[in-house]
Structure 1
Amino acid sequence: MQYKNLGRSGLKVSQLSYGAWVSFGNQLDVKDAKALLQCCRDHGVNFFDNAEVYANGRAEEIMGQAIKELGWKRSDIVIATKIFWGGPGPNDKGLSRKHVIEGVQGCLKRLEMSYVDLIYCHRPDTSTPIEETVRAMNYVINKGWAFYWGTSEWSAQQITEAWGVAEKFGLIGPVVEQPEYNLLSRHKVEVEFLPLYTNYGLGLTTWSPLASGVLTGKYNSGKVPENSRFALENYKNLANRTLVDDVLNKVRGLEPIAKDLGVPLAQLAIAWCAANPNVSSVITGATKVHQVEENMKAINVIPLLTPEIMNKIDAIVQSKPKRPDSYR
């Protein structure tokens, strides 16, 4: 495993990480979670991702209990969680000072930890002034409840505004953004955020490297396997939008490249994300130990991604966004 700085910060995170979205609380209990988390640690993973909304808080409870039972040294791991959707009440959601502070306290209680290393604003909150959110996140850091803060699915303009507030008042700005990034979704990471990497040292912890499993090739027949993510009731609409001929044809076109490299398609797709120098960590998901083991092998694929191979990939997926002339 390789470790990279989280953006311009001094925090080191494993190049591949593990996220609890979908799996913890929906598909896995504490016993299963312990096996998966230990497998991740055995492969050098030190960065684990969660959110208050995952399984309505149950994902944090499971992760916290599993880590406690595993007896890990807290300073050996980096725990991240996200704030935005905390409950049904009018003040249980969003990024107001009230919800940020109460939400973080709730996360810590569920995780059974005195702090998290990183706290994200899970989505932008257009009903709350960015200055209020920036000040609230700084309060959380000053209280020692988190060491760093970041954003998830914010626009470049919103991140820039947050940094403007931070610089104006001498506060800590967001060190990281968590966007979706994979061979089928590239514009934000490769174009929109380009000025932010230089201006603010923004790091990325990207999610959905396999596009909800599409880039594993398991849907290439056009059918949904029983135990797959798209078989879950909550994901059937996403399946209908994603499993279209144009997408599946691109995935099928990638298979010969993976075969020539002697690696599974999933490892190729994960390695491709990790090869982007602006990506600090690629968040992977898995419900079985053998899936974790296979995902972690993607580390060994990164050196195989020569410019020639990358060009071949681009020619097939045809998803490379056009950069503005000023960024060339």
Structure 2
Amino acid sequence: MDFRYLGNSGLKISEVTYGNWLTHGSQVENEQAQACVRAALDNGITTFDTADVYANTKAETVLGEALKGERRESLEIFTKVFGPIGPKGHNDLGLSRKHIMEAANGSLQRLQTDYIDLYQAHRYDVETPLEETMQAFADLVRAGKVLYVGVSEWTAQQLRDGAALARELGFQLISNQPQYSMLWRVIEGEVVPTSKELGISQVVWSPIAQGVLTGKYKPGQPLPEGSRATDEKGGANMIARWMRDDVLERVQQLVPLAQEAGLSMAALAVAWTLQNDNVATAIIGASRPEQVTDNAAAAGVTLDADLLAKVDEILDPVIERDPAKTAESSPKTREA
């Protein structure tokens, strides 16, 4: 496993992060989830990403149990706050001071830890003053409950505004967690250049495009039994956008490129995101331990320029690049 600095900080994290969105506490039984975490540790992964909203707090609980007994100082544990949790009452979501403070304490208990390495604003809250949100994060940092602060799916301007307030309050934003893959490149036009200027790294999610870039979905053929595309709890609605024959046909053309690189299709997709020098880590998910081992092979890989150019040529007509898609990811209201 190789490691990279996260933003303009001294924190090093593993190039591949194990995340448990859509799996722990919902799609995967606890015993299997623990086996996946063990596989991550065995492959040198030290960074783990979750969120209180995943499986309505159950994912954090499962991760906390799976990491119990590990040397805490050797791990980097990330979680997030924003989405509705618990009974989903009127203050059980968003980035108000009340919710951030209560959510942080809940996450610490479920993760069985005294501190969170990276606490992230899961989306931008348009209904709470940014000053209130950033002051709450600053207080958590000063209390020692949070070591570093990041965000997820913020636009370039939101990053700029948040970073300025953070500096005034005596801390810094060091990361943004956006969706990013060969097929979804909306951060390249505005978010990445702004992040480089601000000292912010990307912690990217869905580098395999919810499994489409594994090549297991074939154009004109039935969906594989038990695959994510057939599982309403496991992200079928998210993957639907890519389940078009024009996309699937082009993905199949990547198979010889993966073979040329000596990688599985999944590892090629993860490695592709890591070629972007503003990406600190790529988050992988898994329902089986062998998937973790396969994806972890992307760490330390350098893809040559010719291969990268071929990827662009093959996928160009089906790549989403519109920067406006980032703004669309944050809700315009925080009603539960």
Using structure 2 for the length normalisation, give the TM-score. Answer: 0.90
**Separation of aligned partners in 1, 2:156 and 2:61:** 32
**Separation of aligned partners in 1, 2:322 and 2:110:** 43
- Runs ≥4 in structure 1, deviation > 4 angstroms? 320-323
Name the SS for the 2:107 alignment partner. helix
**Separation of aligned partners in 1, 2:241 and 2:278:** 29
- Higher share in helix: 1
How many residues in Structure 1 have an aligned counterpart in Structure 2? Answer: 317
Post-superposition Cα deviations, 1:223-251, rounded to whole Å, max 9, x if no partner, equal 32222112112433334332012211220
Tell me what 2:193 maps to. 195
**Separation of aligned partners in 2, 1:320 and 1:98:** 37
Post-superposition Cα deviations, 1:60-108, rounded to whole Å, max 9, x if no partner, equal 001101111xx11100000000001142111110000000000111111
Tell me what 2:334 maps to. none
Tell me what 1:215 maps to. 213
Please say which of residues 78-87 and 119-128 is displaced more in the overlay.
78-87
Instruction: Judge conservation of contact 1:204–1:279 (CA < 8 Å) in 2.
Output: yes
Tell me what 1:162 maps to. 162
Letter in 2 for 1:290: E
**Separation of aligned partners in 1, 2:76 and 2:92:** 26
Tell me what 1:82 maps to. 80
Equivalent runs, 1:264-283 vs 2, <5 Å: 264-283=264-283
Distance 1:113 1:15, change over 3 A: same
Tell me what 1:20 maps to. 20
Tell me what 1:180 maps to. 179
Distance 1:238 1:31, change over 3 A: closer
Letter in 1 for 2:90: P
Tell me what 1:153 maps to. 153
Instruction: Judge conservation of contact 2:184–2:321 (CA < 8 Å) in 1.
Output: no
**Residue 171 (structure 1) shift:** 2.6
**Contiguous gaps of at least 5 residues in structure 2:** 324-336
Of residues 305, 308, 318, the one that matches 2:306 is 308
Query: Relative contact order (alpha carbons < 8 A, sep ≥ 6): 1 or 2 greater?
Result: 2
Equivalent runs, 1:26-105 vs 2, <5 Å: 26-68=26-68, 71-87=69-85, 88-105=88-105
Instruction: Judge conservation of contact 1:182–1:210 (CA < 8 Å) in 2.
Output: yes
**Residue 263 (structure 1) shift:** 2.4
Post-superposition Cα deviations, 1:42-61, rounded to whole Å, max 9, x if no partner, equal 11111000000101100000
Tell me what 2:140 maps to. 140
**Separation of aligned partners in 1, 2:8 and 2:173:** 11
Tell me what 1:326 maps to. none
Instruction: Judge conservation of contact 2:176–2:200 (CA < 8 Å) in 1.
Output: yes
**Residue 321 (structure 1) shift:** 5.0
Instruction: Judge conservation of contact 1:7–1:202 (CA < 8 Å) in 2.
Output: yes
**Separation of aligned partners in 1, 2:240 and 2:13:** 35
**Separation of aligned partners in 2, 1:172 and 1:104:** 18
Letter in 2 for 1:126: V
Instruction: Judge conservation of contact 2:17–2:283 (CA < 8 Å) in 1.
Output: yes
Letter in 2 for 1:228: S
Using structure 1 for the length normalisation, give the TM-score. Answer: 0.92
**Residue 322 (structure 1) shift:** 9.5
Distance 1:15 1:239, change over 3 A: closer
Letter in 2 for 1:62: V
Letter in 1 for 2:82: F
Letter in 1 for 2:176: E
Letter in 1 for 2:135: R
